Amino acid sequence: MNFEKVRDEKAAEIEKILYAYLPRQEGHQKKVIEAMHYSVMAGGKRLRPMLLKEAYVLFGGKGDGADAFMAALEFVHTYSLIHDDLPAMDNDEYRRGRRTTHVVYGEDLAILAGDALLNYAYETVAGSILEHPGNEAYVKAFSVFAKKAGIFGMVGGQCVDVMNENRKEPLTMEEILFIHENKTAALIQCALMCGALLAGADEKQAAMMEQAGSAIGLAFQIQDDILDVTSTFEELGKPIGSDEKNQKATYLSLTGMERSREEVKRLSDRAVSILQGLDERNEFLEELVLSLISRKN
């Protein structure tokens, strides 16, 4: 298997799905919809919808039954990036190699575009549930989706992150891991769990996917911290050194480069081990997880 070729083909298919689910750019609210399109279609790895689809396939899912959840999850992820880039948060001017949403459309429309994407994500999922009446799997997946995106997931992690910036004493490792587990890992857990549930996985199997998602999410965030120090603007598509600029304590700043790299490998290996312990295998999914170790952006 040519992993990179297959990954790029899958990413291209996801791009089509995202575009198909975005609202049409028309009406009096056209400008905010335009900002939604600008933000969602800015490129990126499409890791979360890709993980969702691969988990769906792993548990026997067929066809386009997961497409709406894939799109909705990327909408939620994108809204979080829009808000994360705002002056009140990280105050970044570049994302994925181009100007951030608030720089192009202004803070007011950027906030509204983020709000719109979050709400539209739920509209998209609700539509999918209505298209599958009586299918409890879609309701279970929606419950996971809502929780992992909210105060007991991504929003909760982001809250602890921003509330502790610029404080005099450094964050503890417990606090950093809480932030990573929620701000980053929660949506990756969501992807794997929703994909599995939509395909008919039971609670035990969904719990295993949650564990794998936790390991993947932590590895992904630690690698992100490493790239913030070692990468370049051209590779990363956004300014480097933002953690240091914002005086943000990270796993890397507390443990050092060598231990951080070791932890990325350990967590990635753990995630693959969990996936290999299932009854069925998805070799592309396993390779996708391991590719996070060597990623440059």
DSSP-assigned letters across all residues of 204-243: HHHHHHHHHHHHHHHHHHHHHHHHHHH--HHHHSS-S-HH
Provide the mean pLDDT of the chain: 92
d(CA 202, CA 137): 9
In sequence order, the 6+-apart residues with CB closer than 8 A to the CB of 76 are 117, 118, 121, 149, 154, 187
For the stretch 163-185, pLDDT in tens is 887 777 888 999 999 999 999 99
For the stretch 207-226, pLDDT in tens is 999 999 999 999 999 999 99
Q: What is the pLDDT of residue 164?
A: 82
Q: Tell me, which fold does domain 3-294 have in CATH?
A: Farnesyl Diphosphate Synthase (1.10.600)
> Which sign does the torsion angle of CA 218, 287, 141, 70 carry?
positive
For the stretch 221-255, pLDDT in tens is 999 999 988 866 555 555 555 555 555 678 998 99
In sequence order, the 6+-apart residues with CB closer than 8 A to the CB of 180 are 157, 217, 218, 221, 222, 251
pTM of the full structure: 0.93
